[in-house]
Structure 1
Amino acid sequence: MPTRRVHFAARDTVHQLSTPSPAWSSTSLPSTPGIQTPPNLPATLPGPTPYHFVLPTKVARPLPRHPQPHPALYGPPPSVHYYCSYPPQTLAVSNRRLSPYFLSEPATNPPVSFMLITSPHLPWTVKVNSSRFGVVTVSDVFQAVYASLRKNIYPSEFESLAHHDKKRVRKAYEERYRRIRSSREADQEKSQGVKRVDFLMGHSRFMGLTVTSDPTVWSIRTA
């Protein structure tokens, strides 16, 4: 059987292995069948996105403000004395200190171009339009209320009332024309029959307006 001999070099030789460049390139690194392990890079926070994302600007909208009534319309009681069964011209008589520009002032602050007036005692709605410059004035309110309540009612509207309410409406109608001093004018008023104002059942004193949840709709108070 042949004998094997081991030969040692006469001097120590150091072999240095060359390390490939850590650049990530398919041409610089030798191809190996195994999975390549990426180099250990220092951990850093993610940088800014290359796309600029801007939140949409919100347009500031003013808070809704309910209009406030003129002192002549605010109550109870308002600063003027008025009965809805009389024409608005009587305001100058019952309010001696009434300024000539008082009735021409805006009915609300801020001003409005139209108003709707309701009452829990009336099945009708009073619509107030502007008479000048697109602004409803104090005079417009009184004129519209008076004109609307001066309208005659239909027999069906009277018959829709309860029995005790019919008696109260009839009494208000009789008291209304009997207050007229001129017998001729009283007879003329009597002949025109029951009007909407009689549905207030004698509570025709104006006590002011209050705004509802709808800033265009107001509720009238009477006493």
Structure 2
Amino acid sequence: MTRKVRFSDRPMVHHLPAVPPLSHSPPSPASSGSLPTPPNLPYTLPGSTPYPFVLPPKPAKPLRRRFQLHVALAGPQPSIRYDCSYPPPHLSILNRHVPPHYVSEPATYPPTTSMTISSPYLPWTLRVTPRHGVISVSDVLHGIYVGLRTAIYPQDFNRMSRGNQKRVRKAYENRYRRMRSSGDAALEKAQGVKRVDFLMGHTVFMGLVPTSDPIHWVMITSK
């Protein structure tokens, strides 16, 4: 039987001029028809300066502040276990020792309202936004899950090598076949290949690692 992959239908520097030195004529005899010559001054007027006029340096750009990641999300050994192919509530099954308020804590210190996440397996970037105030641990997990549940376009699949296409197809089949009921499996299959399938089975969340951009993180995953 031929296997088919389904896709969703949704798509100036200035120099001061030199001042010429003043010359003084010897005093002339006083006469009624001429003005007296001013006496020699005890000091000299300034001439040209050896130092050019230089504009003050431009202020340095402010350094972008670094963020410290919550231990629940810090890779490569986060303090929580999570499979990205399941919705975030699945955490309660894998992390019975985690207190309920844990995931509601800010994802970074200082808190932030903007995060982007990428993966070596994905040609897309996942964007995380806060649902209440600042981004929490829960917001990060929710953003990852929702971003990975997005359907792909056929051209995304066709750009891949044949070997990777085979791995993505297998991940897709395993995902819908694990559904408990045949109805849920049929529905999941009908929705087609999603971004999560591009992880090729590497869906276990192993935390985030920083990049040169303070608000951009790389997600580590494994089987």
What TM-score does the superposition give when structure 1 sets the normalisation length? 0.72
Q: Aligned equivalents of 1:104 and 1:66: distance in 2?
A: 21
Q: Against the structure 1 CA distance between its residues 125 and 60, is the aligned structure 2 distance closer, same or farther, given a 3 Å change threshold? A: closer
For 1:148-191, what per-residue CA distance to the aligned partner results, in whole angstroms no more than 9, with x for missing partners?
A: 11111111111111111100100111111222232221222122
For 1:39-60, what per-residue CA distance to the aligned partner results, in whole angstroms no more than 9, with x for missing partners?
A: 9x8xxxxxxxxxxxxxx9x999
For 1:38-82, what per-residue CA distance to the aligned partner results, in whole angstroms no more than 9, with x for missing partners?
A: 99x8xxxxxxxxxxxxxx9x9999754310111110011210000
Contact 2:76 2:209 (8 Å CA) reproduced: no
Residue 184 (structure 1) aligned with residue 183 (structure 2): yes
Q: Describe the SS at the equivalent of 1:103.
A: helix
Residue 146 (structure 1) aligned with residue 145 (structure 2): yes
Correspondence list, 1:1-223, <5 A: 64-133=64-133, 135-223=134-222
Q: Aligned equivalents of 2:121 and 2:163: distance in 1?
A: 14
Write the letter of the residue equivalent to 2:67.
P
Write the letter of the residue equivalent to 2:111.
P
Write the letter of the residue equivalent to 1:74.
A
Write the letter of the residue equivalent to 2:172.
Y
Gaps of 5+ in 1: 1-25, 32-37, 42-55
Deviation at 1:138, TM superposition (A): 0.5
Write the letter of the residue equivalent to 2:180.
R
RCO (CA 8 Å, sep 6+): is it higher in 1 or 2? 2
| Alignment length (residue pairs) | 185
Write the letter of the residue equivalent to 1:198.
D
Q: Aligned equivalents of 1:171 and 1:60: distance in 2?
A: 52
Q: Describe the SS at the equivalent of 2:165.
A: helix
Deviation at 1:116, TM superposition (A): 0.8
- Alignment RMSD, CA only? 3.3
For 1:96-137, what per-residue CA distance to the aligned partner results, in whole angstroms no more than 9, with x for missing partners?
A: 01111111100001110111111121111111111112x100
Q: Describe the SS at the equivalent of 2:203.
A: coil
Q: Aligned equivalents of 2:61 and 2:176: distance in 1?
A: 53
